[in-house]
A and B are shown apart, each in its own frame.
Chain A
């Protein structure tokens, strides 16, 4: 079982739809990250959170520490949101975290159709 699991693997939406991507983890963490990777490769950090909720524009990330679960929401989706979204966790020291190495989910490929 992977330590960080994402669902769904693939997601197709119509422009304007509300989108949710889920992430569950099984290790102790000090932070949970949401990353975005556009076609072509470069990865950008969207959010880093350890509790509660963060919002940036149309993107919202939430985390429930007790349930070991995080969600990334996109409101009013647009074709330019099409990308791979990756959830990653910074494990605590007793789960193998040492210098900030991350445990990655396998990513969710989002395609938003006009």
Chain B
């Protein structure tokens, strides 16, 4: 079974702090994604990566950066946390398009971040 893990389930940070959210997958997936989920807005893509050291902006990249130094690990960084970044953050991974099951994304359990 695919397993996607996230470093924390709950996190409380102060405005201005640098925040690191870590995601690890154990299925050798090329694609990894970071989303945030807010009531009434659904899931929105922040960044995704389709290979080591490769990244592409999603719909709402402002205020975030990412790092993918190893295939299994995709980190989301909030350079200077703000209260409007309080949200649920979900990581996902998938195989590339064109291979079997390449369109199914496997999600981590989520990190609920509160910025005070």
Interface residue ranges, A against B (CB under 8 Å): 30-31, 33, 35, 40-45, 48, 86, 88, 90, 97-102, 104-107
Q: Count how many pairs of residues, one from A and one from B, have CB atoms less than 8 Å apart in the complex.
A: 67
Query: Is B45 close to A, CB under 8 A?
Result: yes
Stretch touching chain A among B14-22, B65-73, B74-82, B89-97: B89-97
Q: Which bracket fits the contact residues of B?
A: 20 to 34
Which chain B positions have C-beta within 8 A of A86?
A: 42-43
Q: Are A41 and B110 in contact (CB under 8 A)?
A: yes
Chain A, Cβ-Cβ closest to B94: A100
Q: Are A102 and B90 in contact (CB under 8 A)?
A: no
- Report Cα–Cα, A106/B41, bound state, in Å: 6
- Report Cα–Cα, A88/B92, bound state, in Å: 14
Which chain A positions have C-beta within 8 A of B48?
A: 99, 101
